[in-house]
A and B are shown apart, each in its own frame.
Chain A
Amino acid sequence: MQGYRFSTDRHLPERDMLDLADILALQIHESLGPRVYLLPRSDVLELIAPYVDDLSPDDQHALSWVVWHLFQSAREFDLAAA
């Protein structure tokens, strides 16, 4: 993925990383619904893999964590509001 910001190495800039994670979380949530809250991090990595296969393995790994963390935050909102 090519971001708007430039990195001095082959890694994605942090801001782009967060934006990408946001979009991925939205996409996965739309297709799976609230079940995403129960996904383990390895499954998240598998689900996002087709969209991030051009990134470095480290970035892919980091993205899976960020997306998983977003799901957990969303789950907390859900539980708090219930």
Chain B
Amino acid sequence: MVSVNLEVRDDVSSRYLDMVRGQRRRGNGGWQFTAKSLLALLAVVAMIGSAVYWWGVQSQLTNNWVVATAFTAILVLAPPSLTSFLIPWSPGGMLLQKINARTWGYAVIIGASLYLLYYSFEIQYSWWASQPVVAGTGLILQQVIIGIIGFIIIPALLWTPVTSEELVEQVRQAHLVRRYELQTQADIAILRATLLRAQEKALIGFANLTVQEKEELAGVMRGLVKGIDHTLRDIGESVKTVSGATVPFSSLDDNDDIRSYLDYIHESLTDNALIPGRNRTQERVPVAVQSQQAHGEAYYDDAGRYVEGRHRPTGRY
């Protein structure tokens, strides 16, 4: 049997594959006239017409041609470009709109485009009202709407607010920020659970710990919060490095809730009669003292005096 290595086939020149490649090139080189192409052509014509129209209006309003030119440029270009943000015409555009909808910039775009539409409407209405034939036939509103569609809506439909690369970048940034938020929430939830657990233990079992151990535990709790703060700051930094978006970082240590938990735990662990000058939690003292007595360790007696390494003379022995 002839064994033909199929992988070899691609290396060998193939007239068939050359023909397919050639067909593709010719296919790509061709230009298809679609409804969108027609709209693009119409948009170009409409915008040239818009420039002529607005120049006619603005040059009547002022003799300063520089100002008239600037206003003409604004009224020709600004309404379609701002409106293009409001009427996305692709799945990517819809997503971008959803992401940007909660930003201040988007509110500004909505306000500015609405005002420009209103201004355009008013001026065109006055202009058409001054045309005797239109005014006589009562077609002012219809003419104005046609003008707004041609001057603003059609160009706005054809313009995409951002390029595909920018769209991808914005979506990525939104994703990263969301992930950061979720991770922060998860960290806070874990921390809260940990602290609550520690709180329970502080009430039940920590009374049997030595003073030093309690101090140490309180330090560990604070260290835990600082460690999470550090992790969050790292995440924020990595978000900034990857996407360029600065994510505001609020330290957990500054959070009133967390701080109150920490203070409570610190007090629960350290604020007791074993430490001279503190005697608010006397009910836990005997447990600790008995524990220390059992091991023959140093302890504070009921009057707060330090007793070193001997058993307390009680009736138990």
Residues of chain A at the chain B interface (Cβ within 8 Å): 11-12, 14, 17-18, 21-23, 25-26, 29, 58-59, 61-62, 65-66, 69-70, 73-74, 77-78, 81
Beta-carbon nearest neighbor of A28 in chain B: B16
- Check if B2 sits within 8 Å of A14, measured CB to CB: yes
- Check if A18 sits within 8 Å of B1, measured CB to CB: no
Once bound together, how far apart are the Cα atoms of A25 and B17, in whole Å?
A: 9
- Check if B17 sits within 8 Å of A58, measured CB to CB: no
- Check if A77 sits within 8 Å of B2, measured CB to CB: no
Tell me which residues across on chain B come within 8 A of A73, comparing CB atoms.
9-10, 14, 17
Tell me which residues across on chain A come within 8 A of B8, comparing CB atoms.
18
Partner of B4, one of A22, A65, A77, A81: A65
Q: Which of B20-28, B40-48, B101-109 contacts A (4 or more CB under 8 A)?
A: B20-28
Given contacts A17-B4, A73-B10, 14 further A-B contacts (CB under 8 A): A14-B2, A14-B4, A18-B8, A21-B9, A22-B15, A26-B15, A61-B1, A62-B4, A69-B6, A70-B14, A73-B14, A73-B17, A74-B16, A78-B24
Q: A22-B14, A58-B1, A62-B1 are in contact. Are A77 and B6 (CB under 8 A)?
A: no
Tell me which residues across on chain A come within 8 A of B1, comparing CB atoms.
11, 58, 61-62
Once bound together, how far apart are the Cα atoms of A77 and B20, in whole Å?
A: 8
Residues of chain B at the chain A interface (Cβ within 8 Å): 1-4, 6, 8-10, 12, 14-17, 19-21, 24-25, 27-28
Beta-carbon nearest neighbor of A81 in chain B: B24
Beta-carbon nearest neighbor of A25 in chain B: B16
Shortest CB distance A56–B (Å): 8
Tell me which residues across on chain B come within 8 A of A77, comparing CB atoms.
17, 20-21, 24
Tell me which residues across on chain A come within 8 A of B9, comparing CB atoms.
18, 21, 66, 69-70, 73
A-B contact pairs, 11 of them (CB 8 A): A14-B2, A17-B2, A22-B14, A22-B15, A26-B15, A61-B1, A66-B6, A74-B17, A74-B20, A81-B24, A81-B28
Beta-carbon nearest neighbor of B28 in chain A: A81
Tell me which residues across on chain B come within 8 A of A21, comparing CB atoms.
9
- Check if B4 sits within 8 Å of A18, measured CB to CB: yes
- Check if A22 sits within 8 Å of B20, measured CB to CB: no
Beta-carbon nearest neighbor of A74 in chain B: B20
> What 10 A-B pairs have minimum CB-CB distances, sorted nearest first?
A58-B1, A25-B16, A74-B20, A81-B24, A11-B2, A26-B16, A69-B6, A22-B16, A62-B4, A22-B14
